[in-house]
């Protein structure tokens, strides 16, 4: 059986098809508009994150160097805290950017964020070690002891020995007393003068050499004080006893100074900051700069950076 379709029905069917096509075109048009908006939002956010990351990286570096160069434990702690805070913010930026690039980034951008993530892990490892060293400030503590209590002990010893020399000036053994007292005093001063180079020294072998020289000078001090005690009634003299006590106090302080100096935390942290840290930090900044350039130059479909994409409009 044949079904006859009237002209009116054909027209209705044709009109329906046309309306359906128009609706689909409109939907597609609005979808493209949404897609364009999404692209612009994504690109803007990625550039914003990259700006924040570069700023946080620079701020963390400045705070870290302030922590390394700080002269008090309080300042070291303050700047170390700021450096770690900026690093935490940087890590949050990195995670968000990575998520955005996984869904909307180019192959090159994805490779760059992976490179940055690997370099950043290395940077965090260096920073953790560096800031822990900076907080301990052992070289600064050694300097404080060397130019404070240690110097005072040597000055007190010098004052006592000078008083002893004056007191025994009329004795028959005055010449020998003066000679022995001065030798002990000079050797003690030589030890004191070797402390600062030891505190500043980075090499363990050179510190060994300095300590060997201190040991020899210490033997000279001890020998001369022992010989001095054998002359006249020097052993029982209060000034001699005070000088011996002063040197013993200096020796105990010197021992603590050498322990602090051996830890070398300020010297080591400064060396890491100017060496390893700077090198890895430069790599991170270079990658971020390349990534920022890649995102900036990334084309957005439907836009030609301020120029209408319809060629006909250029002919008007």
* Separation of alpha carbons 72 and 78, rounded Å: 10
Q: What's the CA gap between 94 and 170, in Å, rounded?
A: 82
The C-alpha atoms of residue 76 and residue 65 are separated, in whole angstroms, by 10
Cross-strand pairs, 307: 304
User: Of how many residues is the chain composed?
Assistant: 316
Q: How far apart are CA 155 and CA 278, in angstroms?
A: 43
Of 188, 204, 198, the closest CA to residue 256 belongs to 198
- Which bin fits 174, alpha (ψ -120 to 50), beta or left (φ > 0)? alpha
Q: What is the pLDDT of residue 315?
A: 40
Cα–Cα distance, 145 to 151 (Å, whole number): 8
Residues 6+ apart with CB under 8 A from 87: 56, 60, 124, 127
C-alpha count within 13 angstroms, C-beta hemisphere, residue 145: 21
Other C-beta atoms closer than 10 Å to the C-beta of 176 total 17
**CA–CA separation, 88 and 91 (whole Å):** 5
d(CA 290, CA 115): 11
Q: How many CA atoms lie within 13 A of 148 on its CB side?
A: 9
Distance of CA 307 to the CA centre of its chain: 47
Q: What does residue 307 show for φ and ψ, rounded to 5 degrees? A: -110, 130
**Does the pTM exceed 0.75?**
no
Q: Is the dihedral of CA 50, 51, 54, 59 positive or negative?
A: negative
Q: Kindly report the CA angle at 218 between 214 and 220, in degrees rounded to 5?
A: 120
Structure tokens at 246: 């002063």
Is residue 130 a contact partner of residue 68, using CB atoms and an 8 Å limit? Answer: yes
Domains of the chain: 138-266 (1.20.120.230)
d(CA 43, CA 298): 8
Q: Report the Cα 19 to chain-centroid distance in Å.
A: 67
Give, as one character, the DSSP assignment of residue 4.
P
Helix (H, G, I), strand (E, B) or coil at 304: strand
Per-residue confidence in pLDDT tens, the chain, 316 aa: 444 545 555 555 555 554 555 445 444 444 444 467 777 888 889 999 999 999 999 999 999 999 999 989 999 999 999 999 999 999 999 999 999 998 878 899 999 999 999 999 999 999 999 999 999 999 999 999 999 999 999 999 999 999 999 999 888 889 999 999 999 999 999 999 999 999 999 999 999 999 999 999 999 999 999 999 999 789 999 999 999 999 999 999 999 999 999 999 999 999 999 999 999 999 999 999 999 999 998 876 665 544 444 434 434 3
């Amino acid at each position: 059986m044949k079904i006859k379709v009237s002209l009116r029905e054909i027209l209705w069917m044709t009109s329906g098809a046309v309306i359906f096509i128009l609706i689909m075109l409109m939907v597609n048009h609005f979808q493209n508009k949404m897609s364009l908006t999404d692209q612009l939002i994504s690109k803007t956010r990625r550039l914003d994150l990259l700006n924040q990351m570069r700023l946080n990286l620079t701020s963390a570096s400045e705070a870290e160097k302030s922590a390394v160069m700080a002269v008090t434990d309080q300042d070291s702690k303050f700047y170390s805290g700021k450096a770690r805070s900026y690093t935490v913010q940087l890590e949050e930026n990195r995670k968000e950017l990575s998520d955005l690039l996984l869904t909307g980034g180019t192959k090159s951008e994805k490779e760059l964020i992976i490179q940055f993530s690997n370099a950043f892990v290395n940077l965090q490892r260096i920073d953790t070690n560096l800031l822990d060293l900076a907080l301990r400030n052992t070289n600064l503590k050694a300097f404080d002891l060397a130019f404070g209590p240690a110097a005072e002990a040597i000055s007190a010893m010098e004052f006592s020995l000078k008083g002893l020399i004056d007191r025994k000036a009329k004795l028959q053994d005055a010449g020998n007393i003066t000679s022995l007292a001065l030798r002990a005093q000079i050797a003690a001063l030589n030890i004191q003068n070797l402390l600062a180079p030891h505190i500043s020294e980075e090499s363990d072998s050179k510190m060994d050499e300095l300590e060997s020289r201190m040991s020899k000078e210490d033997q000279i001090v001890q020998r001369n004080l022992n010989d001095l005690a054998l002359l006249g009634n020097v052993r029982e003299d209060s000034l001699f006893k005070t000088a011996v006590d002063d040197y013993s106090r200096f020796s105990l302080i010197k021992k603590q100074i050498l322990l602090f100096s051996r830890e070398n935390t300020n010297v080591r942290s400064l060396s890491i900051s100017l060496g390893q840290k700077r090198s890895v930090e430069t790599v991170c900044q270079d990658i971020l700069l390349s990534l920022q350039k890649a995102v900036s130059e990334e084309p957005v479909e439907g836009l030609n950076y301020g120029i209408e994409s319809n060629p006909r409009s250029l002919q008007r």
